[in-house]
Structure 1
């Protein structure tokens, strides 16, 4: 009998699905909920915890003034101080979405805290619907952060509809992409016969075609007429969910154990196919319009 393989670089991921609510009166309870749920994840051995987009504020602002009142700075905000202290106390990595105030600008941002402090953050590049009225599009590019448990990339919600985002993160060596979300109900059909939503399939596809783990945390519930999809999941390097996909209604915590020494060596179907190597970047630029197409007038 062959010896069981011992994980060389293990990570236990926890994706948290819950129901934050907008309103200044809810800020403290939202924050305390994130900490209590993260504490539960720690008791189950998680060392990478992913919370949804705008986890401390809720989502459906009525005006830019209201969004500004909910926002906090990256370094001095109450939520970020609390999340940083939590990560330090438990020696874990915590990803969360928050409304970031930088001077007079607002960003829909995600932050990565680790045992030794802030590792970095990301500002949402692709703004959805009325987000364009409150937030400035992100200006940080698509950074990947080195950690002892692997290289971590961040994206936010609508970003997953743009395949360039997970591809750019993967090409920079991301082992895990943490996707923080407020996926909303849109005109039907919302779910297929298997009960899956399009956002789940996009996450599965992005993980599959980029050979990367994606941990996607969404929220649930209703807020000022908007309803949220749930359907949080953790997709493995082959795309398929590790464990269950969360339902649309219930709060939950999903867990997945991944060994990054295995994910980095994951095979691409056969010995002759390799996704990064097989890309035809020599053809993409002009055809996709990243640079002016030679057929267009100059």
Structure 2
């Protein structure tokens, strides 16, 4: 990649790629090598921003906290992040990727944001799903929005997407896109062959907040747990612009998007703009969060 990528990105136009992969549980070295190979493939297809799945360096189905702690890494000092930083620098790339984080005696289901010049920041999953509560601490960093040369990037992980506050707080801080590393599983009541509920939630959130949402899921069966796949990229309109991917194959889902449209076209008609129409005389503008309002 050359600096031309950033010239295009400053105009709002760039290519986002969601990598749908199948981690090998506990094999960090193999998983990182696989992620680097798939990143290279995405870059060959023109990607400027790549999203990898939740816990993609370790796998998901931990048997106990000790098992998770043994393969967790510090951020950004650990070898996984170092490998991703090196690849992002090589390709002049932005990357969002899920990782098992160790911080002192605490464990977090986290995602890192990396740019061409190195580590940008960390997001820690706020809403823990099922037995995650036995291994991980709930996220304590809120919903940061990271300023980058290609736009303002928010992050959510899997079950965070079930909470409208997740996307609204990112939108109110000026996020153009929310990247979602995820490990979706079938949910109760889901009929055979029906699309993932998470896809519907992502479409609704993208529309109601006028932002892009890029979801990178995993595939495969791990310790008896099946995963949904169906990675997708959703426009600020709420309609998918790439995907959903298959339920069972590794894939790279790509879309060329214009981030500036997420803000430029928020006025739906002469009267309505979804963020400005909020009744902040009735409810708190920032939903009680200490986050600061951005540009909307």
| TM-score normalized with structure 2 length | 0.91
Shift of 1:261: 2.5
Shift of 1:190: 4.5
Shift of 1:191: 5.4
Q: C-alpha distance in 1, partners of 2:190/2:267?
A: 33
Q: Establish whether residue 68 from structure 1 lines up as the match of residue 69 from structure 2.
A: yes
Runs of at least 5 residues in structure 1 that lack an aligned partner in the other structure: 1-5, 292-298
Q: What residue in structure 1 maps to residue 52 of structure 2?
A: 51
The list of structure 1 runs, each at least 4 consecutive aligned residues, that deviate by more than 4 angstroms after superposition, is none
Q: C-alpha distance in 2, partners of 1:147/1:204?
A: 24
Shift of 1:93: 0.3
Shift of 1:76: 1.6
Q: Establish whether residue 166 from structure 1 lines up as the match of residue 167 from structure 2.
A: yes
Shift of 1:265: 0.5
The aligned length equals 280
> Does the Cα contact within 8 Å between 1:21 and 1:59 map onto a contact in 2?
no
> Does the Cα contact within 8 Å between 1:51 and 1:96 map onto a contact in 2?
yes
Runs of at least 5 residues in structure 2 that lack an aligned partner in the other structure: 1-7, 290-296
Query: Which of 10, 22, 26 is the equivalent residue of 2:25?
Result: 22
Listed one character per residue, the Cα deviations across residues 46-83 of structure 1 (whole Å, up to 9, x for unaligned) are 00000000010000000000000120000221110000
- Aligned to 1:239, the other structure's residue is in SS state coil
The higher radius of gyration belongs to 1
Q: C-alpha distance in 1, partners of 2:266/2:190?
A: 35
- Aligned to 1:66, the other structure's residue is in SS state helix
> Does the Cα contact within 8 Å between 2:143 and 2:154 map onto a contact in 1?
yes
Q: What residue in structure 2 maps to residue 10 of structure 1?
A: 13
Listed one character per residue, the Cα deviations across residues 108-150 of structure 1 (whole Å, up to 9, x for unaligned) are 0000110111111100010000000000001001000001100
> Does the Cα contact within 8 Å between 1:190 and 1:197 map onto a contact in 2?
no
Q: C-alpha distance in 1, partners of 2:195/2:243?
A: 11
Report matched runs for 1:268-283 at 5 Å: 268-283=267-282
Q: C-alpha distance in 2, partners of 1:45/1:161?
A: 31
Q: C-alpha distance in 2, partners of 1:177/1:114?
A: 16
Report matched runs for 1:85-100 at 5 Å: 85-100=86-101
- Aligned to 1:33, the other structure's residue is in SS state helix
Q: Establish whether residue 78 from structure 1 lines up as the match of residue 76 from structure 2.
A: no
* Distance change >3 Å, CA 119–CA 190, structure 1 → 2: farther
Listed one character per residue, the Cα deviations across residues 82-103 of structure 1 (whole Å, up to 9, x for unaligned) are 0011111110001100000000
Q: C-alpha distance in 1, partners of 2:281/2:135?
A: 38
> Does the Cα contact within 8 Å between 2:125 and 2:139 map onto a contact in 1?
yes
| TM-score normalized with structure 1 length | 0.90
- Aligned to 1:122, the other structure's residue is in SS state strand
